[in-house]
Amino acid sequence: MKSLVSLRVNGEDLELAVPEAWTLLEALRYGAGLTGTKQGCDKGDCGACTVLVDGKPVLSCLTLAHAVRGEITTIEGLASPAGPDPVQRAFDVTGALQCGFCQPGMILSAKALLAHSPDPTDAEMREALSGNLCRCTGYTKIFEAVRLAARGVDRHVPVRYGTPAPGFDVIGARGRKADAIHKATGEAVYTDDLALPRMAHGKILRSPHAHARLLAVDTRAAEAMPGVFAVVTGADLPTPYCIIPWTPDETALAVGKVRYIGEGVAAVAAVDEETANRALAAIRVSYEPLPIVKDAEAAIAPGAPLVHELDWKGRPWPDNVCKDVDLRFGDVEAGFAAADAVVEDRWFYEGSTHAAIEPHCAVAQWSADERLTVWSASQVTHYLHRELAKVLGIGAERVRVIQPVLGGAFGGKSEPFDLEFCVAALSKKAGRPVKILYTREEVFYAHRGRHPMDMAFKVAGTKDGRITAVESDILIDGGAYHSFGLVTTYYSGQLLTGPVGFESYHFRSRRVYTNKPCCGPKRGHGSVQPRFAFECAVDELADRLGLDPIEMRRKNLVSAGERTVNGQLVTSSGIAACLDAVEAASGWKDRRGKLGRGRGLGVATSMYISGTAYPIYPNEMPQSGVLLRADRSGKITVFCGANDIGQGSDGMLAYVVAEETGVSPDDITVVSGDTELTPVDLGSYSSRVTFMAGIAAQEAGAAMGQKLREAVAATWKVEIGRVGKGYGFFFDQEDRSRQLSAREALILAEAAAGTPLSAAGGYRTRKVGGDYRGGTIGASPAYSATAHVCEVSVDPETGIVRVEKVWAAHDCGRALNPQIVEGQIEGSVYMGYAEALMEAHTFDERGLHSGPNLLDYRIPTSKETPEILAHIVESMDPGGPYGAKEAGEGPLHPIIPAIANAIADAVGVRLRRIPFTPDRVLAAIRAQGRS
């Protein structure tokens, strides 16, 4: 029942008519329109909804609106007419905001801390922020922000505030993220912050069975309910699709069968979520339960039930194997024969999920002229655009997809999901806009996270440290559908061949269907798991051969200009410098093996792609496009389809265009992720954006810069070669006192052109990769390289492992903005550390998730997250923009094996199954005592 509630919010008295069952969060967001307060977990587990009541941080999602007495401060209340609060500014300046979704709550917790403890200790700070989960930053830059706020921060800091690399005006300088201050103030609009007139709210009915035939779905009672506008079922959206166009094996809602608990069966749009939920309860579904395939081993067992009886062409599937790859490079038998030692064992990598703090959300609206707009928290607007057109059966020219500000993705939003199709179909039926926001539980069912992999590895080496052969047999638990599975299967073998190389290689990888939520790409797609097995095996091999693990790796590095055993060309590599850096910083030589029982050091390396060579669907068009528009105001607007998912691609585009045009990045606006306004970029996946969109921006910026220089040269009546470019101005190289500002140059150029000023740039596919079936999958125009050393303590009585410190050196080529690169390294280390020690996306015999919420699925807080020391190595890549390569995924890989190897150094046990939970560690230690 609605009744009036009086709230004192940010110094204003608000009188709102809201239901008595509403929380303060709902009253603020949906009653008062104060959408700066975020919602992440439904029930008090994440802290995103933190507001201050009488100066104390509380969770607005567990506070009844009608129960609040006291002064409420939301993120919108911190800024004053003079500008953002110093704490907001400090978060902006230090790069503490990536996706920004957790930050309103985090900033309020920091504000409260500093109010009573103006110069907090490290421990106080970690404690005070420990109820606010951040998934992007590894908390490192957040701590910096709090320290900076405590010291005092300038109110006005330009976007580029550091010193650029030699020879550059912008590139290489530390800088703020273009959009961070909007996130810090609560002004940024995320998908669930959108409210359209007459907007209805949708919910999706989900299957409680992991495997069942769908006999009937009766929606009549739901349709008849007051307040219900539309109902759709699988019959309304029967066209199969898949992010990989070769394997279209799923539908928006289940058709014929359900294949995992949580699969969508029907969807309802109603006047509000409560009514939609009641309508779902009125839908009658008859299921005929079928025996389930609970894991990969069961999937390949003789006589296993079939998850898919038919493929997308109607041909029978003989078994549950959805992809089988078997590739050989070099003479593996000879490699093993030449070896002095072979490590042969099995490793198991548990599944884990992205757990971005923002749940998936989508809004659809049909216009009077039958055009569809979908706003979605997606990292692949372009692919979503294509799939929406396909499944809805309408021309792509009638579909527009917009990505609002996005609250974290990590691969978890890199393909279409049921809600996007459902909002489109429901909105059409209902004749009004429809929004669907997943509950946290639904996010777990949508999943597409890290595949569990059961990995048999054999690694052979000689006394002099050469790795002569590697053989793997990997069984990949794919869940109910294909997703990126074809790619995953290749990646599990193809991405292992550097930076530590080997002479011969045989891998077989099979991805199988099981009755569980579908796995997909999570940061370090397909390659994190075998990297764990391989880097552990190399460590063990070094032990057996009596070699130092770092030395052993050094003897096998694939250098710049060389090809890996599977034919990938390494165009640049800073791996040797990475190893040197972490070896020196960690005191490796003096400390490894000498820290006493319970403390140890471990090392591991990895490499990763900077984008995949080819687009997901074959075409000859550019993989990334950038358009620039400039005018007499002195501003440039950059249009690019790339998705800023918090990693900072908008800021990267602004930086590159600023470098090329002389216009300050403060005067550059980026419009991205909108299929109507921006040229196509394929999306934020496979660490492709800095490399590919960066090159497109560089090309467009150079063209614009040329126009400006030409106009200046014409004005000065000098050769164009005499016109030099500074930061915000042009100058005469022969008379440096003669200068024109970039704004003046824009005016001259616009006048000279006689048309609006524009420029375009593109990234065109380069032919790379091995000349064999699958040789282009895992082929990339450039590879990053990473080495980590970590220090752990292991309590031999409890098995509790603490990661004390991580030295992470990453070769990203040119660091366009080192602050952003550090953030990517720190966030990667955090996410990998979490997989190594605590995260487990597991299911029981029924196929039921072990706890689809952020209390049972634990992601680390500010208190246990280790100290992370990011070190940037720059091996300039000849093909990258200014030499840049990827930084967002590579640095995740080594931390898991580095921790395992450090545990071995600390207590002498080799763990082969993640997560390294204390019971497993303790059992291994006790078993060691017995053996």
Task: Give the nearer residue to other proteins in terms of CB position, either 19 or 908.
Answer: 19
Does residue number 8 form part of the binding site for other proteins (CB under 8 A)? no
Least CB distance to other proteins at residue 66 (A): 4
Question: What sign results for the dihedral spanned by CA atoms 920, 924, 926, 927?
Answer: positive
Least CB distance to other proteins at residue 41 (A): 9
Beta strands 321-329; 505-512: pairing state: antiparallel
Among 138, 411, 860, 879, binds other proteins (CB under 8 A): 860
Rounded Cα distance between 356 and 440, Å, is 10
Among 919, 929, 930, 931, binds other proteins (CB under 8 A): 919
Among 393, 797, 929, 930, binds other proteins (CB under 8 A): 797
Least CB distance to other proteins at residue 723 (A): 57
Question: Phi first, then psi: what are they for 668, rounded to 5°?
Answer: -120, 130
Among 7, 16, 34, 58, binds other proteins (CB under 8 A): 58
Contact in structure between 792 and 803 (CB atoms under 8 Å): yes
Beta strands 212-218; 228-233: pairing state: unpaired
Contact in structure between 611 and 889 (CB atoms under 8 Å): no
Least CB distance to other proteins at residue 613 (A): 40
Does residue number 886 form part of the binding site for other proteins (CB under 8 A)? no
Does residue number 509 form part of the binding site for other proteins (CB under 8 A)? no
Task: Give the nearer residue to other proteins in terms of CB position, either 17 or 621.
Answer: 17
Q: Which stretch binds other proteins (CB under 8 A): 432-440, 448-456, 640-648, 729-737?
A: 432-440
Rounded Cα distance between 113 and 149, Å, is 11
Rounded Cα distance between 769 and 571, Å, is 12
Among 17, 67, 310, 753, binds other proteins (CB under 8 A): 67
Does residue number 20 form part of the binding site for other proteins (CB under 8 A)? yes
Task: Give the nearer residue to other proteins in terms of CB position, either 633 or 850.
Answer: 850
- Token reading at 639: 């249009």
Rounded Cα distance between 727 and 304, Å, is 66
Burial (CB count <10 Å: 0-12, 13-18, 19+), residue 756: exposed
The site that binds other proteins (CB under 8 A) totals a number of residues, namely 65
- Token reading at 93: 């300046």
Least CB distance to other proteins at residue 525 (A): 27
Contact in structure between 592 and 582 (CB atoms under 8 Å): no
Task: Give the nearer residue to other proteins in terms of CB position, either 128 or 388.
Answer: 128
Site string for other proteins, 753-792 (x = CB under 8 A): ----------------------------------------
Among 10, 35, 50, 649, binds other proteins (CB under 8 A): 50
User: To which residue do tokens 């990339």 refer?
Assistant: 780
Strand ranges of the sheet holding 723-725, from the earlier edge strand across to the other edge: 723-725, 729-732, 735-741
Task: Give the nearer residue to other proteins in terms of CB position, either 39 or 672.
Answer: 39
User: To which residue do tokens 């040789």 refer?
Assistant: 775
Residue from 497, 363, 361, 502 nearest 427 by CA: 363
Does residue number 793 form part of the binding site for other proteins (CB under 8 A)? no
Task: Give the nearer residue to other proteins in terms of CB position, either 290 or 552.
Answer: 290
Rounded Cα distance between 612 and 199, Å, is 39
Q: Scanning residues 80 to 139, which ones bind other proteins (CB under 8 A)?
A: 109, 127-128, 130-131, 133
- The alpha helices in 431-494, defined as continuous H runs, are 440-446, 485-494
Among 437, 757, 884, 903, binds other proteins (CB under 8 A): 437
Does residue number 191 form part of the binding site for other proteins (CB under 8 A)? no
Contact in structure between 607 and 782 (CB atoms under 8 Å): no
Rounded Cα distance between 390 and 384, Å, is 10
Q: Which stretch binds other proteins (CB under 8 A): 81-89, 202-210, 496-504, 603-611?
A: 202-210
Residue from 710, 709, 728, 722 nearest 658 by CA: 728
Q: Scanning residues 244 to 273, which ones bind other proteins (CB under 8 A)?
A: 261, 273
Least CB distance to other proteins at residue 711 (A): 54
Residue 674: strand pairing partners: 402
Q: Which stretch binds other proteins (CB under 8 A): 376-384, 624-632, 844-852, 866-874?
A: 844-852
Residue 725: strand pairing partners: 730
Among 103, 439, 504, 649, binds other proteins (CB under 8 A): 439
Contact in structure between 612 and 686 (CB atoms under 8 Å): yes
Binding positions for other proteins, rule: CB under 8 A: 1, 19-23, 26, 39, 42-45, 47, 50, 56-59, 62-64, 66-67, 69, 109, 127-128, 130-131, 133, 206, 208-209, 261, 273-274, 277, 437, 439-441, 797-799, 838, 846, 848-853, 855-856, 858, 860-864, 917-919, 922-923
